[in-house]
Amino acid sequence: MLNSLRIKKNFGRLLTICLSFLLIGSFFGVSGLASSHYDQAPILDERVEAGELPPVSERLPDEPKVVEPLEEIGEYGGTINKVYTGQYDFWGVNKSGVQMEPFWQVTQSVEAEPNLIKSWEFEDSVLKLTVRKGVKWSDGEPFTIDDVIYTFKTAPLEDANPTPPSLVHNVKADEIEKIDKYSAKFPLEKKSVITFSLKDADLSPLPEHYFKQYDPRHNEDMTWGDFNDHWPRGLVSEDWVGVPQLSPWVITEVIPGQRAVATRNPYYFKVDPEGNQLPYIDKVVFKQTDSPANIPTMAKAGEIDLQARHVFFGDYSFYKQNEEQGNYTTKILTNTSLGPTIHLNFGAQDKALRALFRNKKFRMALSLAIDREDLNRTFYKGQAEPWGFCPLKESSIYPGDAVCQSHTEYDPERAKELLDEIGVEDTDGDGLREYGDGKDLTIITDMDQSGAGGPVQVLELIAPYMREIGIEMVPNPITRSSILTKWRQNDFEAFAWKQDSAIQPFLAPYYWSTTSSTIYGNVGFELFKWFNTDGEEGIEPPEFVKEINSLMVEARSTLDPEQRVPLGKEMMSIAARNLYSIPTTTLADIGIVNKNLANVPDTWVMGDALRGLRVIKPWQFYYEN
Amino acid sequence: MAPILIRSISLMISYVIRRLIVMFFTFLLATALIFSIIQLPPGSYADYALSFLAAEGGQTTKLGNRIKERYGLDKPLYRQYYEWVEGIFRGDLGFSLTYRRPVAEVIADEILWTFLITGLAFGFAWITGIAIGIYSATHKYSILDHLFTFFGFVGLSIPNFVLAMFLIYFMVSAGTGITGGLFSDRFVGAPMSWAKFVDLLKHIWMPVVAIGTARMASVIRIMRGNLLEVINQPYIKTARSKGLRETKVILKHAVRVAINPLISLAGSLAPRLVSGIVVTAVVLNLPVIGPSFLESLKAQDMYLAGAYLLVILMLLLVGNLLADLALAAVDPRIRYE
């Protein structure tokens, strides 16, 4: 029955494709796809007729970017309903294809693909960028290399709501050399950096013609405060309305506490192979929910068409059971991240605890105590995999199974022996081991209560394993800002966070070494200080952490992949063998997709480096009738 | 007669003035308390902002310092407090760090909705509660009395937000498509119309019932208990023996006295209704002060959080004042204290 349906459906698709080829053929004769005839969404027809908008062929660039739809050419119209959790959830909005169109599109294999920037090349320490010709901002103004230059001169400024570290901070802004309207040379501070880091993936241009009016460098009446008031970077804010954009949908309404609406950008520069201007979908509406815990019910009520962010694996059964009523499909997704990994503070204030954490045998005991198979079965319903402190197999620097499985077998007896060996024993018979001068061994492990650091339940499942070997591990779900504050004040024992960028550790070095002032993969803020000040301040890291840090720096400043890969493998072997942090499993994710939404893949890879949903190109989604 | 009336009025005025003076100092003390409570958690708004700005990537401590500088978070605490309180007296509630807008602008709408919903919940709780309380007292140990008592206890013991969750689950499972909020999606942001009003009615009963039920239960208990006590007083027996109709005896003579504790309770309950709405509103996605209050506390957006606490404080103070005045008006003994 199912099969025959599928055949029918496929046959229908085949028919559509054949027919459309016939149609194209008859329309354009031999010239085929190389045509200048473009179509637009019906809702734009009126505006063109009324003279509000120029015709579609004038709005599109000379060479629009042609996007192959995943399965078939779509139809125009419809709204995608999503949720966001408040004004700080800008990246949830952005990663759906709204606001801040990136220079580069990241592909599923973590490669950079031309987007606004058509081509780029390194000439020694100079990066030459060329933008796509004839692209227009959502207000109809042309987008040129001047906007890019303006961005590189503005984004790194401390005064201007600065962008996190990325390529913009590595360009000598004063020495940018404009070649013509579409290309320029950008001299780099550091001679060679890895081509793209994670933060370059979301780098996007600022509209110079718009920001000039608030920019004190161009308008004497303005201050940087005024500028920042009009530059809502990182916020879902009413301030976005009216800021020209290059994205498929632009924010046209924000009612704080209620919703944000993004409507199609009539100047979006992409078309499908038949010349239909993208996106197919008219609108994306984000409904605010005050707690992600409300999302399952909203899905059940059919209020959500597409959502992977804030959708947690722990609710898998609920989502599966209510597919019919909510008219959606639950998809199991892979993630570029590993599950929550426990980072011990190698600079803990309690010196006895610090010494313990730095003892490899102690870390081995913690790791051996965890039954990863069981964790996978009970929590991830078997959809994840037990994993060591290693990148994913797809990564070019995966150092091999043997190394990666170091100390990940389940062996609580051996764990107890190890603890006995290093003198951490239960002397008062209360079931808990003591350390130092007789304190019970408890490790308070901070974790983001919202689930942003991976499922909190995983830590709750790990606690009993630790109890088994006589260690009390207390999961401490608190807000992200509290974790951050505690971390920066060196007032924590351990914290758990998902281990992201496991597909390409070089893209996010802060997850895999202690070389940056970012928390996620850090084994102690004081250790970072030591690294950052060349040992003048902070606490000296253990030898193996120093090795990891220096290998990370060396590998990232090596342009040649031939050299970089061995360095990366060496780094990962050291990390896995020494248990830089205590690993658990890979991370399975879920997403829900409206049953009628087409051109959505059956599964995809989620992850920060891949910019959320952008990797599956929501601008080519459409509703099947 | 006249001198007594004048004396009574002047007593009332001096009573009000005394109350107002006490209110002023309570207010000052409370603002200091509010401010210090908001400052209790480690870190500041800058840390919160950083944790999100940097959520998907790197960050610098420099940026944190810049945010602190820009919003005056680097000034000493007493200075921040002084500026805040001084602003309040000028009618300036400060600047919301998270919304990047004046606090008054952020909370104006929310406060309207909050008053509407809590007002309705208050009316619901008091009207049904008093009616049921009177019934229960006059029909002591009847089947309905037992039933009301049972549901009263259930209502008291179920937290508001749990009740709200039950309601949502029930509504969603029944296929109504209502998952909370005050309007259906198509009416959000639309101008007010008859259809929108009807839509509002379809949604607003949920928070009213969720928040009002527990209060209603306590009103029933208090009304029932007091009335039972009053009913056995000699003067009620006298009224009866004089041949007054039973309804008149109960409503005019008994209830009037038995309702006094409910008046003073009303004053102290006003702020509790607002605080009771906080978690419920998160569950029901209401545009009231609850969710944003929680968020502002988490973000350490001190002026916004402070403004919410001020609203609750003002409700408490004004509510108490009104209740005291009402009580003084009803019960002459109070005035002469």
Task: Say if A226 is an interface residue toward chain B (CB within 8 Å).
Answer: no
pLDDT at B328 over 80: no
pLDDT of residue B54: 54
- Say which range, A72-81, A295-304, A539-548, B284-293, has the weakest mean pLDDT: B284-293
Contacts of A253 in chain B (CB under 8 A): 189
Give A518 to chain B, closest Cα distance, Å.
Answer: 6
B147 and A CB contact within 8 Å: no
Phi first, then psi: give them for residue A448, nearest 5 degrees.
-75, 120
- Assign B93 a pLDDT band (cuts: 50, 70, 90): confident
A405 vs A109, higher pLDDT: A405
For the ranges A9-13, A369-373, B157-161, B307-311, the maximum mean pLDDT occurs at A369-373
pLDDT recorded at residue B335? 60
CB < 8 Å to B172, chain A: 297, 300-301
Among A86, A199, A481, whose Cβ lies nearest the Cβ of B48?
A: A481
- The whole-chain average pLDDT of chain A stands at 87
A358 touches chain B (CB under 8 A): no
Considering only CB atoms, which chain A residues are within 8 Å of B50?
481, 484
Is the pLDDT confidence value at A575 over 70?
A: yes
Angle at A355 between CA A350 and CA A360, to 5 degrees: 140
State residue A416's pLDDT score.
96
Chain B touched by A221 (CB under 8 Å): no
Which strand (E) or helix (H) includes residue B66? Answer: helix B61-70
Q: Do A303 and B185 touch (CB under 8 A)?
A: yes
pLDDT of residue B57: 41
pLDDT digits (tens, 9 = 90+) for A197-248: 555 666 889 999 999 999 999 999 998 888 888 888 878 988 999 999 999 9
- The enclosing H or E element of B329 equals helix B302-330
Phi, psi of B180 (to 5 degrees): 110, -165
Q: Tell me: pLDDT of A189 over 50.
A: yes
User: Residues near A155 by Cβ (< 8 Å), separated by ≥ 6?
Assistant: A162, A163, A168, A203, A206
Q: Which pTM does this prediction carry?
A: 0.81
Write down how long chain B is.
337
Residues 24..53 of B with a Cβ closer than 8 Å to A: which? 41-43, 47-48, 50-53
pLDDT score recorded for residue A299: 94
Q: How many Cβ atoms sit within 10 Å of the Cβ of residue A166?
A: 20
CB-nearest to A301 from B70, B179, B188 is B179
Judge whether A583 and A341 are in contact, CB under 8 Å.
yes
| Interatomic CA distance for residues A210 and A150, integer angstroms | 11
Q: Is the pLDDT of residue A528 over 60?
A: yes
Q: What angle do CA A410, A412, A415 make, to 5 degrees?
A: 110
Angle at A61 between CA A58 and CA A65, to 5 degrees: 135
Chain A partners within 8 Å of B292 (Cβ)? 257
The CA distance from A568 to A505, in Å, is 9
Residue B59 pLDDT > 50, yes or no?
no
A66 pLDDT higher than 90: yes
A79 touches chain B (CB under 8 A): no
What backbone torsions phi and psi does residue A166 show, to the nearest 5 degrees?
-165, -170
Residue B48 lies in a domain: no
What average pLDDT does range A251-270 have in this prediction?
93
For residue B191, what is the DSSP state?
P
**What is the domain range of residue B31?**
2-40+75-330
Yes or no: say if B316 and B270 are a contact pair by the CB < 8 Å rule: yes
Quick: pLDDT tens for A121-133: 877 788 899 999 9
Amino acid at B244: L
pLDDT at A36: 65
Query: Quick check: A572 and A593 in contact, CB under 8 A?
Result: no
What percent of chain A has a predicted confidence (pLDDT) above 70? Answer: 91
* Residue ranges of B 209-228 with Cβ closer than 8 A to chain A: none
Say if residue A601's pLDDT is above 70: yes
- The four Cα atoms A510, A512, A513, A519 give a dihedral, to 10 degrees, of 40
Neighbours of B43 (CB within 10 A): 19
Give the integer Cα–Cα distance in Å for A93 and A77: 20
CB contact under 8 A, B172 and A297: yes
Q: Residue B111 corresponds to which amino acid?
A: I
Q: Is A285 on the interface with B (CB under 8 A)?
A: yes
DSSP state of B254: I
Q: Hey, which residues does A386 pair with through a beta bridge? A: A585
The answer, yes or no, to whether residue A25 has pLDDT greater than 50, is no
- CATH label of the domain that carries residue B36: 1.10.3720.10
* Chain B residues within an 8 Å CB radius of A608: 56-57
Q: What angle do CA A276, A279, A283 make, to 5 degrees?
A: 135
Q: What is the pLDDT of residue A573?
A: 96
Give the pLDDT confidence score for residue A328 in this predicted structure. Answer: 96
Q: Does A289 touch chain B (CB under 8 A)?
A: yes
Distance CA A551, CA A85 (A): 38
Interface pTM (ipTM) of the complex? 0.72
Contact at 8 Å (CB) between A600 and A70?
Answer: yes
B227-249 pLDDT tens trace: 999 888 898 888 888 888 888 88
Number of domains in chain B: 1
Query: Which carries the bigger pLDDT value, residue B301 or residue A324?
Result: A324
Q: Which of A107-116, A148-157, A395-404 has the lowest mean pLDDT?
A: A107-116
Within a domain: B59: no
| Residue numbers in A near B51 (CB within 8 A) | 480-481, 483-484
Q: Does residue B177 belong to any structural domain of this protein?
A: yes
Assess whether pLDDT exceeds 50 at residue A22. no
Closest CA to B173 of A326, A312, A266, A419: A326
Say if residue A261's pLDDT is above 60.
yes
- Residue A160, pLDDT score: 72
Interface test with B, best of A481, A512, A608 (most B CBs within 10 A): A481
* Rounded Cα distance, B227 and B256, in Å: 9
pLDDT of residue A550: 92
pLDDT, position B58: 42
pLDDT of residue A533: 87
A11 CB-contact burial (10 Å; exposed 0-12 / middle 13-18 / buried 19+): exposed
For B193-225, letters b (16+ CB in 10 Å) and e give: eeebeebbeebbebbbbbbbbbbbbbbbbbbbe
Which residues in A lie closer than 8 A to residue B287 (C-beta atoms)? 257-258
At residue A26, the pLDDT reads: 42
C-alpha span between A447 and B172 (Å, rounded)? 32
Question: In this complex, is the C-beta atom of A291 within 8 Å of any C-beta atom belonging to chain B?
Answer: yes
Confidence of residue B280 (pLDDT cuts 50, 70, 90): confident
Beta-strand relationship, A494-499 and A442-448: parallel
The more confident residue out of A577 and B330 is A577
**Helix boundaries (H) for B158-259:** 160-173, 194-231, 234-241, 246-248, 255-258
Chain A residues near residue B300 by CB distance under 8 angstroms? 481
pLDDT at A163 (0 to 100): 61
The answer to whether A139 contacts chain B (CB < 8 Å) is no
Tell me: pLDDT of B74 over 80.
no
Query: How high is the pLDDT of residue A24?
Result: 46
Task: Identify the DSSP state of B35.
Answer: H
Q: What is the pairing mode between strands A126-131 and A117-123?
A: antiparallel
User: What 3-state DSSP class applies to A53?
Assistant: coil
E-only strand ranges, A392-541: 434-435, 439-440, 442-448, 472-478, 494-499
